[in-house]
Structures are given as C-alpha cells and as structure tokens.
Structure 1
Amino acid sequence: MSKKYDAIIIGCGSNGIAAAIRLQQKGLKTAIFEQAAVPGGATKTKELTLPGFKHDVGSAIMPLGLASPFFRNLPLQQYGLEWVFPEVAYAHPFDDGTAYACYKDIQATAAQLGEDQDAYLNLINPLLENWDKLNEDLLGPLGIPDHPLQFMKFGLKALPSAKMIADKYFKNEKTKMFFYGSAAHSTLPLNTLISASFGLVLTTSAHKYNWPFPKGGAGNFFDALVQHYKSLGGEIYCDQLVNDIRDLPNAYSYLFDLTPKQLLKIKGLNFNSLYRKRLEAYKYGAGVFKMDWALSEPIPFTSEKCRKAATIHLGFSQKEIEESEKGIHDKKMTDTPYVLVAQHTPFDSTRAPEGKHTAWAYIHVPNGDTTDYTEIIENQIERAAPGFKDTILERSAMNTVALEQFDPNLVGGDINGGRQDITQLFTRPVAKISPYATPDPRVYICSSSTPPGGGVHGMCGFHAAQKALKDHFSELL
C-alpha cells in the first residue's frame, strides 16, 4: 500500500477507535489496521447459543461508556445508538432473599441501608457532587490534577483497600457486601491497596449516569463509533495482522492498541533493551471464565430489586467475597465465587426471540486457567434465583484460552489489559512521564495497558492521541 498517512492505528478496540477518532477530528489522515475480520476488540455481539439470541461476547454493561469524557461528546445517536437505562444500575442479593439496589437516586439507595445510611452518603456524596471536576483526572494519566483539592480528598478514600473502607464506614455486613460488589470489578484482592477506588468510581458513576447498555447489543455501540470515524474520513482495514511495522504504509506516528506481550512481537520497532525488559516485566492480572445462556424466561430472582437490575453482583457473605477474590491470585478457587451477572432482555426485547431471554456472567479465575466452572457459576445464580437451571435452553462457556483466541488483548483471560494494582494503575505499562510514548519517537501505546486501564471508555486511546498530536502536530492542539 503506497498511501501516506499522518497516523496509523494498529488494533480496533475501543481505545484504538478512540485514538483514531481524536486524530481524525484534528484533520489528520488516519487508518486503522485490525487483525480480526470485524472491528470491535472485545465489544462484539454474536449468536453464541441459539439462532436469534444475541449475546455480548465481551463487554456487556458499559458503566463508563456514557461516563467517558470523550465518548459521551460524540454524536453516536446519529448512527443509531440507543442507551437502555434499567431502573436499578446494579443489585446485590443476599441469602435471606432480600437485596440492596443501587438506584441513580443516591438518597433512595442510602435509604435501604438502615444504620449505614448516613455513612454511605458521607462516603459517596462528595464524589458525586465533584464528579465533573474529578472525571477527567480519574480517567487519565498521573499528573497535576486540574482540581487538586478535590482530587486529594478522593485519593484519601481511594488509596486504601476496599476492606479498609468498608470496615471504616459501614457497620452492617450487607452494606459491606454491597460495596464489595462494585469494588471487586478491580479483579484485585479486596485487602489490596487502591481496590477501594474501583468501588468508589463505579458506584459514583451509577449515581451520576446509571449503568446503561446499548440497545440490541454492545456491538451496536462499536458500530456507531466506526460509522462516526468513517464519516470523518477515516479508513479501516480488517483481516490485517501486523507482524512488522515496516509492512505498514508510511506515517509520522503509529499507535498500537496492543498489550506489551503482543507489542514485543512486532518487528521493526526501535526499542532499546532496557525498555524491552521493562515491558517483559509487565504483570497481567487474573483471567475470567465467562458464560452466556439462552433462557426460556427471565432469571427468576427471589428479590424484585434484582429483577429490575441489568447487573447483579453475587457473593453471599463478606468472608465469601474476600476469599473468592484473594483465592484467584493464590490459585485456590472456591466453590462459592463472586459472580458478575448481566441480564439485558428484561429491558431490551430485541436481543432474543419473543418471550425468550438471555443472560451473561463471569467469575475471576487465575490467569490462563482452563478449568470448567459452569456448574459452580450456575449454582451461585441458583442461590439467588431458585429454578434458574430449569430455564436454560442452551449455554456457551469460554475459558481464558478461548477468550484470548477471541481477542488477543485478553492475555490469559485478563480483561483489563494488565494487573491494576498500586504498582501498575497509573504507571502502566512502565513508569515514565508519558506512559503512552515509547523510545521509538514514531510509536505510541494506546491500549488498556496504559492509564486509566480497563473498561470501555476510550480514554487510553484519547490520551495517547493527545501525546502523538503534541509530539508531531502541536500546531493542531
């Protein structure tokens, strides 16, 4: 290909497309080269079980898709994107048949918590009130924050472990479990520093935006991004596995939506030995074992609150959730793991044949684990929804190997592009002033292996694009 581009993006996941859109917005000529037949990374929708049942293969609920400072300002509704807002952002059922619901209304949420009502408001309300000041700093690289006082106050709550925050603020075990439900999205042991930050950010975003999902499937969100990118003049080439940067057209800059493991395999990069060693030392996090079901009816949750939520966190005691999330890093899986469940069809009938339903779930597992956890997951759902197994028409299961085959960025089943602990949250993939830049002045990393890490928010790609603009096209900033 003899064309000349200003920038080429390798990999078309949510961060690759975000980087490409940002550069194209500034008038640059860009192209994306994607190894898969269809763009989207892990944000795809397929019929995994039976004809007519649409399942999100990777991302299913997008709490940060609408909260993203970049994505939310794009005119994606012009390309058919519709957000679905369930009445309850997420719910957490308990063994006694009751549940707590996270409503968009923080007062309604806190009112369920009894003696912990005021503590919940004291913990979350300041973050909610200052979200617009904190959002861009939280979803970006480590640096001087635009609002240092508010950021410092957030940091005092975010730096501790989820267990420390839960035990400090809450008296009731149910409230602690409720907080653990969102904090455990970190895929970290809940006694690990900074694990609280995930619970705080995700809970606050639920009160600010709800936890919406795209009507018809997560793939529709990505289709809208692709259409918008093409409307700006961008080009996408699929089925293009890049092994050598010298095989790509000439460009001033190349942005790789790849994790370090894949990037190190690319030939022709001018990386010194020290940088290569640092990339080789990059740590990947836990994997996931993921399931989809075609159902004859909605999941029969005992609690009505769970039936009104698109996302349900399963874990039936504080100790059970703590041991589950610690065990995956010790390679000691429990029979009662923390389970993330998503149900779309009670709120979006377009995803299944009339009267039928779908469900989606995963658990955290050791990186690279190939054990079949089907029975364990279904047993956990059955505890909150007796009769669930009787509704199953067909199931699909993907272990860590299958997930990595589906999307090579999911190394060992790690959906966050690398471990997101205190050593790698802001300094991923290596500790340097700009984590997006590399020793090769043409080459940038824009994947979830850069700040702010995993999630469908596009901010890794946006910040990498900003760095490339500053280095090569500063007159456009």
Structure 2
Amino acid sequence: MAGHRAAVVGSGPNGLTAACVLARAGWEVTVYETADAPGGALRSAEVLGDGVISDLGASVHPFGVGSPAFEDLRLAERGLSWAHPEIPAAHTLDDEPPALLHSSLEQTAAELGVDHDAWRRLIGPVVAHWEEVRRAAMAPPLRTFGHRSEDSVVARGAALARLGLRGAWPADVAARLFRTPRARALFAGMAAHSTVPFSHPLTAAFGVLFGAAGHATGWPVARGGSQAIVDALTGELEHHGGRIETGFEVTGVRRAPGRLRRTHLISGRRRGPGGGRAVVAEEAVDVVLCDLTPTQLLRLDGLELPSRYRHALRRWTYGPAIVKVDYLIDGTIPWAHPDTARAGTVHLGGSHAQISASEAAAARGVLSGRPYVLLTQPSAADDSRAPAGQSVVWAYAHVPHGLEGPAAQRAAELIDAEIAVNAPGFREAVLARQAWTPQDLESMNANLVGGTISGGMPTVRQFVARPALSLQPYRTGTEGIWLCSSSTPPGGGAHGMNGHNAAQAVLRALG
C-alpha cells in the first residue's frame, strides 16, 4: 500500500478512525477539518466556565466501549480509559421510584417483579451472545471482520437472527411483552434512542441492544471527557504519520485531468488571518473518504456522482432533531429518589405511552408538551469534569427537524421543567446553563443537519439503503470517492465503525 495518498474530509470519530486504519497500512493520509479543532461533535469544551468539561455531543458510550474499531486501534495505549457509573441507566416515573437498568441482568429483572421472566427472555439471549451480536451488528453488509470463529458468515447470521427475532418488531409491539408500566417505561426509554416513531419496525432493536449493552459492557463515559476519544484517535493517526489540517473547508472534489497518477483533486478554503478564508491550490490524491452526510456530499463542487446515487442522496431523510442544554450543578441534581443520582444516564418523559406519543409528534413536526428527554450525568462516574462540589450534566429533547426561534427556546424550557418535576430544587442548584438549538448544533458541526444527531433516520428503508441500495454501501459509484459517515452502516453512534468499515473496504479494493 506504500505510496497511496488519501484525503479524509471531516474529523468526526468516523473520519479519524478511517484515517488511522489507512495510515497504519502505510498510506499518506491528510484529514481536512473546517473547525479549528478535530473531533466534530465528539469534542469537549469549557462552555460553562474554566475547569468545567462539557461534552459537545455524546457523553455516554455503550457502543464505544465495545467498538471493534477502537479495539483494533488499541486506543487504550493512547490514553483512553472508561469510567463506569454505579448504575448504567435509570428511567424516572411519576410519583414512584425510578426503573433501573443495572449492570446485572438478574438484578434488573428481579426489580421488575412480574416482568422478571419477560425481561430475561427478551434481553438475556443477546447478553449471553453479546460478543457475536455486537460484532455482527457493527459489521458491513456481507462481510466478516477476520478469521475468528465468531466472524464466520454462519456465526454472524446466527447472531443477527438472535437480535432480529427480538428487534424486528415495532417498540409499541415489543412493549406488550411486559405487564407492568415500570418495565414498559424502562424499555421505551432505550428504544427512543432510535429517534423513530415506535410504530415503525426495528425500533424494538434499539431497546434490546441498549439494554443488552448495559448488562454486557455497561454505559461508561470516557475519563476526562469524550475529547479523550478524539485525542486517542489523533495520537494514533499522528503516530503513523497522518496529519490533520484544521480551519480548512473542502469545497470541491473533481477528477484529475490527463494521465496524472492521482485520481482526484480536492480544493477548499483555508482560514486566513483574522478569520478570513482564502482559496487554496488543489491537491491531488488517490482516494477521498468523506465523513459527510448526503447534504454535504451533494454540495461539493465538481464531484461527479452517478445519477442514481444522487437521487438516493436527495431522498435522504434526517428525522427529528434535538434541543440540548448543558448545566453546571452545585453538588448534584437533587433527585426525588436518590437512586437516580447513581445513574450515568437518565431517561425522562413519563410512561411508555407518553414517550411513544412524543416521539410520533416529533416525527410529524410537532413539539410535544412533554417530550422525551435524555439526560447524562458524567460526574456520576468521572469526578474530573468539574471543580470539587460541582457536577456537569447535559440533557436533550427530541424535537421537530430544524425547530427554531421561540419554539426551540420553549423546548429548552420543557427540558428544565421535566427535570424539575423529578428533582425539586433543581433550578436553584443550577450554577450555569447553556441551551443549544438545532441551528446552533448545525453551526457547530455541519453534519448535524437541522439538529439531527443520527446521520439519518434509521427507518427500514434507510437501514437497508444507507444511503443507497448497494452491497457496497461505502462506495459512491465514482472511482476513488468513498463515504464513511454515520449515514453508512452501521448508523449513528460514537463508535468509529463506519470509518473502520469504509477504510477496510478501500484497502480490499486497492489490495
């Protein structure tokens, strides 16, 4: 592979992972990032004050801790370590103690009372075969990871069948397995990570996978902030000779003329003195990997894509957005039930029926009066995030795509209110607060189109055709141009597998 040159457009976890894989194979790799620092939405920053580490995007990593990509890159050797809360997740319930997702399958099931057996039957087989299931779920279509026995086609098929038998249903249907509102609510909080209405097929898979991950590997945070994942990836890339150019916006990709060895020329704008941007000369590369969603890919000047592929990109649906609020808390959140403070993640929004209704409303473009809220408490596991006696928290609500203006501010107020209902005295405990609208999020990272965080709604169509119907989903149909973002399999999440899979496909194609 020596002598090959690659450009990676975008430095989110997928772009950085793809760059690391190619650099380790001996390629000359340059990552181009529009922002002043790499990492995309995985970065951390001191937005609430000096010494207060807030994660701009994901804080809790149930699939990062078990990512085959991160294992392959040995990020622990680059300083990445995981911190586990005492309880992976909790679901608040009106006027009664929360439902808890413990690390122990048996303890979780026991606390669900008459739904003990139903929880074990639904989640238990996936936990028992977690190694095979998590690798199969994250593998590219029709490919295996290597020569291990659990990577064979037969083993992968068996693992996916275990998940499919339980996850193919709509979450509304799967919830009927449970007899109590407590068990249904606990399952609903995890299924809502899909951002898809519960009436759709495959939404149950999110509840099963998140529940099984909690029992098998936990829902940890990266010690020191999610920035630690970015730092580990950049350290691995630089160790193998790769480099990152920040403040560089790639605006065009075109086929190289004549008989140049390099296949494509990329062009863009580099931030100049005083923040201005200047057009820079074109640079020739063999391969371009784009950590971009369909909207950004279509905006690249000069990029020739097959008409069928362009049509698929134009049909891409992003789905609901989020409004996010960061908080600095004096002490910890004064939850009505102390067990809630022990959880790294807290789901709020009421019963299964209430969450199902609010998710359906967001997909229809309606802001629910009581939206589903996902809250993380990184300080429950990692006391390095804030000064002594304080803690960092963030929460988001699922809202209509592109929500703006007073409606977005109203959503932030609804988040405050939902927390306050379950934690009397919450408002008085807040030392600092910052709300992010969908427009703020997209301005921070262009891949968060309209404020969506999943790279595209994981409906059945967009699960099968992500982003286009193809047995080789990382190819764009144009030689030398590849897609490695969350808009490819296995979908959204800070696990790097999209980039890992795409880079491996490049190596196979040119090997």
User: If the length of structure 1 is used for normalisation, what is the TM-score?
Assistant: 0.95
Runs (5+) with no aligned partner, structure 2:
144-152, 254-264, 268-281
Aligned with residue 234 of structure 1, among 230, 242, 248: 242
| CA positional deviation for 1:5 | 4.6
* Secondary structure at 1:466 match in 2: helix
Of stretches 328-337 and 33-42 in structure 1, the one that deviates more from structure 2 is: 328-337
Q: Separation in 2 of the partners of 1:11 and 1:174?
A: 42
Q: Separation in 1 of the partners of 2:284 and 2:244?
A: 16
Of stretches 329-338 and 142-151 in structure 1, the one that deviates more from structure 2 is: 142-151
Which structure 2 residues correspond to residues 180-219 of structure 1 after superposition, within 5 A?
Answer: 180-219=188-227
Aligned with residue 331 of structure 2, among 285, 297, 320: 297
Q: Separation in 2 of the partners of 1:346 and 1:136?
A: 29
Of stretches 399-408 and 27-36 in structure 1, the one that deviates more from structure 2 is: 27-36
* Secondary structure at 2:380 match in 1: coil
Aligned with residue 386 of structure 1, among 424, 441, 446: 424
Which structure 2 residues correspond to residues 47-66 of structure 1 after superposition, within 5 A?
Answer: 47-66=46-65
* Secondary structure at 1:423 match in 2: helix
Aligned with residue 464 of structure 1, among 502, 505, 511: 502
Which residue does 2:161 correspond to in 1? 152
| Aligned partner letter, 2:432 | E
Which residue does 2:343 correspond to in 1? 309
Q: Any idea what the Cα deviations from partners look like across 1:56-109, whole Å, max 9, x if unmatched?
A: 111111111111111134332333322111111101121123012111111111
Which residue does 1:408 correspond to in 2? 446
The alignment yields a C-alpha RMSD, in angstroms, of 1.4
Which residue does 2:121 correspond to in 1? 122
* Secondary structure at 2:465 match in 1: coil
Which residue does 1:97 correspond to in 2? 96
| CA positional deviation for 1:119 | 0.9
1:365 and 2:399 correspond: yes
Runs (5+) with no aligned partner, structure 1:
none
Is the Cα contact below 8 Å between 1:426 and 1:452 reproduced in 2? no
Q: Separation in 1 of the partners of 2:378 and 2:309?
A: 44
Q: Separation in 1 of the partners of 2:366 and 2:243?
A: 46
Aligned with residue 233 of structure 2, among 219, 222, 225: 225
| CA positional deviation for 1:220 | 1.5
| Aligned partner letter, 1:216 | G
Of stretches 458-467 and 341-350 in structure 1, the one that deviates more from structure 2 is: 341-350
Which residue does 1:141 correspond to in 2? 140
Is the Cα contact below 8 Å between 1:141 and 1:451 reproduced in 2? yes
Q: Separation in 1 of the partners of 2:325 and 2:244?
A: 30
| Aligned partner letter, 1:135 | R
Which residue does 1:377 correspond to in 2? 415
Q: Any idea what the Cα deviations from partners look like across 1:282-309, whole Å, max 9, x if unmatched?
A: 1111110000011112011122221111
1:41 and 2:40 correspond: yes
Q: Any idea what the Cα deviations from partners look like across 1:239-273, whole Å, max 9, x if unmatched?
A: 11001122253222110000010011112322133
| Aligned partner letter, 1:64 | F
Describe the shift of the 1:150–1:54 C-alpha distance in structure 2 as closer, same or farther (beyond 3 A). Answer: closer
Which residue does 1:348 correspond to in 2? 382
* Secondary structure at 1:98 match in 2: strand
How many residues get paired? 469
User: If the length of structure 2 is used for normalisation, what is the TM-score?
Assistant: 0.89
Q: Any idea what the Cα deviations from partners look like across 1:193-225, whole Å, max 9, x if unmatched?
A: 111111111111111110000112111121111
Which residue does 1:333 correspond to in 2? 367
Q: Separation in 2 of the partners of 1:135 and 1:427?
A: 21
Is the Cα contact below 8 Å between 2:184 and 2:351 reproduced in 1? no
Which residue does 1:171 correspond to in 2? 179
| CA positional deviation for 1:138 | 0.6
Q: Separation in 2 of the partners of 1:132 and 1:51?
A: 40
| CA positional deviation for 1:438 | 1.3
1:162 and 2:171 correspond: yes
Which residue does 2:18 correspond to in 1? 19
Which residue does 1:109 correspond to in 2? 108
Is the Cα contact below 8 Å between 1:5 and 1:250 reproduced in 2? no
Is the Cα contact below 8 Å between 2:221 and 2:382 reproduced in 1? no
